[in-house]
A and B are shown apart, each in its own frame.
Chain A
Amino acid sequence: MIAWLSAVAAVTVQLVVMVAAAPLVVGLARQSRAWVEGRAGAGVLQPWRDLRKLLLKEPVQAEGTRLQVAAPVVLLATSLMVCAQVPLVGTVSLPGLPGDLFVVVSVLLVGTVALAVLGLDSGTAFGGMGSSRHMTIAALVEPTVLVAVFAVSIPAGSSALSQIMNERLAAPSTIASPASLMAVVALGIAVLAETGRLPVDNPATHLELTMVHEAMVLESSGRDLAWVELGSWLRLAALVGLVGNLLVPWGQATTASPGALLVGILTLLAKLALSAVVLGAAEVFLAKVRLFRVPELLAGSFALAFLAVTTSYLVT
């Protein structure tokens, strides 16, 4: 019972930290981008200000739309579920919910579907367009994700994330092996595609015809939009945090003691901050690739993931 309670407490802490940090990750990425561009920038807290304002506003809903209320809530709930299952602050997981990677991926996909359905539901040309592109990319990313997962799960002999992390903590030499590096790079590309970042999608675009993510939410407003935004930011933060933890697993709490959790929180925040700065700055150097060149990028990442699996057979 006590073990159960402390696990719940650890997961709750992780959820709270992620909800607080996810907008800051986006804010920091935008801010670092602004610095590189020679701007002053809106400040790291800007996403939080945006959220507060959106929650205070009156949402507008068009006739004939049915899922504008439910779909954003589902998206946010699945993002929270992902945050609860992925080892971020620590590898402590709820008993019976070991954060199996395949389960995490399918929970993520439920969120993806919620967003795609939201776009179709709006009944406008742009909503359908965004939804179609979003699902196409999601479908093509899927092999990369699963094969990369396969590659990182080989040393641990399990697809449960906490076990993978523990294995990496126990044998750091596996982290720097070519197989693991290739898999993490492939996973990184997949994360960029899945979360709608450059070079697959431009989160700051105003041009409807180039949109993917934005086109689906053109119809949402007020708190509906707030849920969508927070949900997407949580996805980004959780996945970036996961990749960060795969590369640098140290600092994660392996027990639910307060001290370990504190260390876990601090190292997680440091990893997230570093990734956000790198992400924001790197995006200045990237151009969005044409939609029909995206498969090329994804095929590349798939090849990396596959080679990660074969090279992991070579070096044991």
Chain B
Amino acid sequence: MTAVDLGLRLHLALAAAGVLVALAAAPERRARWAGSLAATAAAAGLVTGLAAMAGTEGRLTLSTALPLAPLTLAPDRLGGLFMAIAGGVGLLAALFGIGYAHGPSSSATSWAAFVAFLPSVQLVPAAADVVSFLLVWEAMAITSTVLLLADHEHRPQVLSATRWYAVMTHLGFLALLAGFAVLVAESGGTTLDELARAVESHRQQGGRYHGALALLTIGFAAKAGLVPLHVWLPRAHPEAPSHVSAVMSGAMAGTGIYGLVLIAVRLMPEPPQWWALALVALGIASALYGILQASVATDVKRLLGYSTTENSGLMAIALGLAVLLRADGETGPADVALVACLMLAVSHAAFKTTLFLGAGSVVHATGERDLDRLGGLLPRMPWTATAFALGGLGAAALPVTAGFVSEWVLLQAIIHGARGEGRVVAVVMPLALAAVALTAGLALLTMVKAVGVAFLARGRSEAVATAREAPAPMVTAMLAGAGVLVLLGVAAGPLAVAVAGTVDARGILATSTAGLHLAAVDAGLEPVRLTGGVLVLTALVAGPAILLERRRPRRRTTLPWGCGGVRTSPRMEYTATSYAEPLVRVFGDALRPTRDVAVTRTDRAWFVVREVRFHQQLEDVVEQALYRPLQAVLNRTAELARGVQNGSIHRYLTYSLAALIAVLAAVSR
């Protein structure tokens, strides 16, 4: 029995125990017990994933679970990677949840759903056949929907968010079902390996193969949150409890990316060029649109939700480029791009988990998610601030975090990729580079805004004044996430090598100082030395600064400089809305803000203004332009369909008769 065999069984057993405990335990002990069991199960999944990543084989077959086919869980190396990601995220989220969950999100149902949600996310990449894949995938969808609903009695918007989520996620599921059904019909088997073999021999058949590819892509893209299938993301993430959002964003969106990578490397190797180009186009659109919406969002969790779309977009770009480059014969850069995609997935999981947990901690302490009403939290919540700032650094792809390393690898793939003869590639590369660069720039602004407005300067509302640091489990989870983020950034080489192993990418080496050497494109990165250099230089500056601090101590004053004004209040500070105002103007055509300014004047004189109100609303443009009309059409059709159902039993029986006749007619033909 290998480690993976054992791990899978342990994982399932612990999770099952967790669900039972969550349902049975007394309310005051529920969080600690169920949370601990969930964390242990996630840890078991993490270890299993790491073992599978290292090449250990193992399988768990449940032959009696379903009448049709046995369910098989057997993670390969790629699956192990995503299993490990989900395990890590789940571990931190469960730990955080112990301290965080309160009110409706700490009910027996919620905890049971959470404990069941974690393994379903982890087992998607472990599934070895179509039936178990779809089963686990659906379990993931249902448990997350239940979790999302936790707070529906208190906030009406939860219901609307859940409706969007449920519809989108099930449409995605249907697409997957249809796509897999076509492949299964072609191959006659249900395991992924059989499917891959069938695709290999039927490649020339055209139509069906392309159709299945498109359907699967739609299903996975919806889960990854790619534009235009992202609409559930910015709604669901703010409304879910924060530890759930962390898993949904850090790990569940990752399963969508896993699916896309699965298509490209295992299920249908050498996908057609249109697929790669579509992926790059979807990726560029998602990255730019996601980060643009994130940069103008004021709800911190909505901001993070859109940022997930952005990061999925970056991964899609990397994957698409990898396929394009391989088709062009540029295997070196292609491998680098593929590794970049996976590294982005790892780093995204690390920083997004940290950020969502940090946001949860802020919500926990202040009850506010609106950045415009936060501020000055740094002295009150130093640990949360530290973790959130490090997460922000990762999301902005700055050194030394895993985010920086993975983006650097992507950039190297792009600039070395355009050397071949392919003209399409030659034009796509600079476009992709420009899109990645603009995305990175806007991500920087977004994160400076989120961190700066929430934690620096003075508080903008009373909610901030009473804020206190989160309890120990939450702080531990946040800091652990931030620590992993930095650690992976420093140990860039080992990370890249480990990731490269899962897709057999060649020419990715680690140096003796944990640096990264891309032999395939002859480029190197040494985060340890870079950090060392910066630290030496910082010491060079800080030395004299400390010396001077002794010789001439600083003087404290009560107020920042406000032009000598007598009344300066925190309301004069820049808010998140004002921070993004220049961007709203620059990208006005893409964002289409609606603004109105209402001026109230006194009765006595027209020119004496009593009050000026400014209101700005930024809706999701894609939703407005694409989904609203669709919704209207659906509603109208539904209205018409109502005539069919009038409650008369006779009419229903007539329908049955008509259906029977139709079937008989069809069969006899």
Contacts and interface: CB of A to CB of B under 8 A. Distances in A.
Q: A and B: partners?
A: yes
Interface of A: 55-67, 69, 73-74, 76-78, 80-81, 84, 94, 96-98, 100, 102-103, 106-107, 109-110, 112-113, 116-117, 120-125, 127-129, 131-133, 135-136, 138-143, 145-147, 149-150, 153-154, 157-160, 208, 218-219, 222-223, 227, 291-292, 295, 302, 306, 309-310, 313
Interface in B561-594: 561-563, 568, 570, 572-575, 578-583, 585-586
Nearest to A307: B430
Nearest to A64: B458
Given A57-B552, A142-B444, 16 more contacts: A55-B548, A62-B557, A64-B458, A73-B542, A74-B538, A109-B396, A123-B376, A128-B573, A128-B575, A132-B449, A139-B583, A145-B437, A146-B436, A154-B418, A159-B523, A227-B545
Contact of B537 (A84, A112, A141, A208): A84
Contacts of B116: none
Interface string B409-433: 0011011101100000011011001
A61 B541 contact: no
Contact of B444 (A65, A120, A135, A153): A135
Contacts of B456: 66-67, 117, 120-121, 123
B515 interface: yes
B484 interface: no
B283 to A, nearest CB: 16
A146 B414 CA distance: 11
Contacts of A154: 415, 418-419
Query: Main SS of the interface on chain A?
Result: helix
Interface stretch (B44-52, B129-137, B298-306, B525-533): B525-533
Interface of B: 295, 376, 378-379, 396-399, 404, 408, 411-412, 414-416, 418-419, 426-427, 429-430, 433-438, 440-442, 444-445, 448-449, 451-453, 456-458, 511, 513, 515, 522-526, 529-530, 533-534, 537-538, 540-542, 545, 548, 552-563, 568, 570, 572-575, 578-583, 585-586
What 9 pairs between A and B have smallest CB-CB spacing? A128-B574, A142-B441, A139-B441, A123-B457, A120-B452, A146-B437, A62-B560, A77-B538, A135-B445
A62 B397 CA distance: 32
A117 B448 contact: yes
A145 B436 CA distance: 12
Given A84-B533, A97-B530, A107-B399, A158 B523 contact: yes
B526 A97 contact: yes
A146 B555 contact: no
Contact of B534 (A78, A140, A208): A78
- Best-buried of B419, B442, B448 by chain A (most CB within 10 Å): B448
Given A97-B533, A124-B572, A58 B554 contact: yes
12 contacts: A62-B558, A96-B515, A106-B397, A121-B452, A124-B562, A127-B574, A129-B574, A136-B586, A139-B441, A139-B445, A150-B429, A154-B418
B430 A309 contact: yes
Contact of B430 (A59, A135, A145, A147): A147
Contacts of B537: 77, 80-81, 84
B438 A98 contact: no
Contacts of B376: 64, 123
Contact of A291 (B427, B448, B524, B582): B582
B415 A159 contact: yes
A98 B422 CA distance: 30
B586 A292 contact: yes
Given A81-B533, A106-B397, A113 B560 contact: no
Contacts of A64: 376, 457-458, 560
A222 to B, nearest CB: 7
B207 to A, nearest CB: 36
A220 B598 CA distance: 37
A226 B191 CA distance: 67
Contacts of A138: 441, 444-445
Contacts of B574: 120, 125, 127-129, 131-132
